[in-house]
Amino acid sequence: MSNNEKHTIHDFDLNIIYEYFSSTERQGPGNIDETLKALSFIDGLTEKSKIADIGCGTGGQTMVLGAHTPCEIIGIDAWHGFIDQFNQNAQNKNLQDKVKGIVGNMENLPFQEEEFDLIWSEGAIYHMGFEKGLKKWRKFLKQGGYIAVTENTWFTEERPAEIQNFWQEIYPEIDTIPNKVAQMQKAGYLPIATYILPEKIWTDYYSSQILKRESFLKKYNGNKTVEEFVASQQYEAELYYKYKAYYGYMFYIGKKI
Ligand code: SAM
């Protein structure tokens, strides 16, 4: 199959994608250590501060924020199944008084202007596009508030055609580090920290999917859509191992100015 004939994650039935990802603590590349590292750049959070976690999924990172800040936190995600799981997780961790999940669309957030001291978003801003997300979410932050997002980024100015074409098709906004930082600055934030997440973030994410792929194929034996979806996930992982020198996830942390 040529790249053009391969399915991307966006082509598949959303229910299949959601079911595939709902059994894991995180639905994207990330872990506790990296969430805490990013949090270490944020100053001045008190029990009066509010955090929004946009595209929170089942809340892997939100629960870390809940356990390590005194703040009130709202997680928002488009899929009710993730939010049900999110609120269950908050309860299991005894964080339900501080951490709440709501269903909503990141393109049309149900928040007030200047409501938040911190906007968090791991592995989700790409659904809207990095630049558009940064611009549209800015009004929900107080002056001096922070934004912390992760984003897939090119590490080099040039790269092999196979990987260039793959990501260009899935996410045309993928760009280099200096271009992303410039976009953050142009959107009205002071860039506070920009750093590459360790390879382990993605290798753990992909290896956690190996068993899941097998059980998913067994459960949906003969279902072509599921087979193609699982194959697309496997192909993405193979490309990562082959081309990880050229791209990876980055944290971008900015302050509203
Ligand atoms: N932040 C979580 C994590 O790192 O584990 C989830 C990351 S997952 C890759 C992206 C999330 O964005 C999914 O939970 C998906 O449901 C959510 N999402 C996609 N489009 C959205 C939208 N328009 N509004 C709100 N959430 C959305």
Backbone angles phi, psi at 44, to 5 degrees: 80, 15
Residue 9 in this model has a pLDDT that exceeds 60: no
* Three-state DSSP string of 98-161: CEEEEECCCCCCCCCCCCEEEEEECCCHHHCCHHHHHHHHHHHEEEEEEEEEEEEEECCCCCCH
Confidence at residue 154, expressed as pLDDT on a 0 to 100 scale = 98
- Regarding the beta carbon of 163 and ligand 1, being less than 6 Å apart is answered no
* Rounded Cα distance, 173 and 176, in Å: 10
Handedness of CA 218, 219, 225, 230 (dihedral sign): negative
pTM: 0.93
CA 211 to ligand 1 centroid distance, Å: 22
Confidence at residue 124, expressed as pLDDT on a 0 to 100 scale = 98
Residue 225 in this model has a pLDDT that exceeds 60: yes
Which residue among 82, 84, 105, 106 has the greatest number of ligand 1 atoms within 8 angstroms of its CB, and so is best to mutate? 106
Confidence at residue 146, expressed as pLDDT on a 0 to 100 scale = 98
* Rounded Cα distance, 241 and 247, in Å: 11
Residue 132 DSSP class: H
Confidence at residue 67, expressed as pLDDT on a 0 to 100 scale = 98
pLDDT bracket for residue 10 (50, 70, 90): low
Q: How large is the average pLDDT for residues 117-139?
A: 98
- Residue spans of the domains in the chain: they are 24-199+247-256
- Regarding the beta carbon of 173 and ligand 1, being less than 6 Å apart is answered no
CA 77 to ligand 1 centroid distance, Å: 6
- What are the tokens at 125? 């801003």
Least confident of 7-11, 155-159, 242-246: 7-11
CA 27 to ligand 1 centroid distance, Å: 8
* Rounded Cα distance, 3 and 221, in Å: 25
Residue 250 in this model has a pLDDT that exceeds 70: yes
- Tell which residue, 240, 172, 254, 191, has the closest CA to residue 29: 240
Confidence at residue 11, expressed as pLDDT on a 0 to 100 scale = 58
- Regarding the beta carbon of 15 and ligand 1, being less than 6 Å apart is answered no
pLDDT digits (tens, 9 = 90+) for 54-65: 999 999 999 999
* Rounded Cα distance, 180 and 70, in Å: 31
Place of tokens 């191992």: 241
pLDDT bracket for residue 1 (50, 70, 90): very low
Confidence at residue 17, expressed as pLDDT on a 0 to 100 scale = 79
Residue 4 in this model has a pLDDT that exceeds 60: no
53 neighbors 62 (Cβ within 8 angstroms): yes
What is 24-199+247-256's CATH number? 3.40.50.150
**Which atom of ligand 1 sits closest to the CA of residue 62?**
1
Q: How large is the average pLDDT for residues 213-240?
A: 89
24 neighbors 61 (Cβ within 8 angstroms): no
Which comes out higher in pLDDT, residue 193 or 228? 193
Ligand 1, atom 14: closest residue by C-alpha? 57
State the average pLDDT for the chain: 93
Least confident of 80-84, 143-147, 173-177, 253-257: 80-84
Residue 231 in this model has a pLDDT that exceeds 80: yes
CA 76 to ligand 1 centroid distance, Å: 8
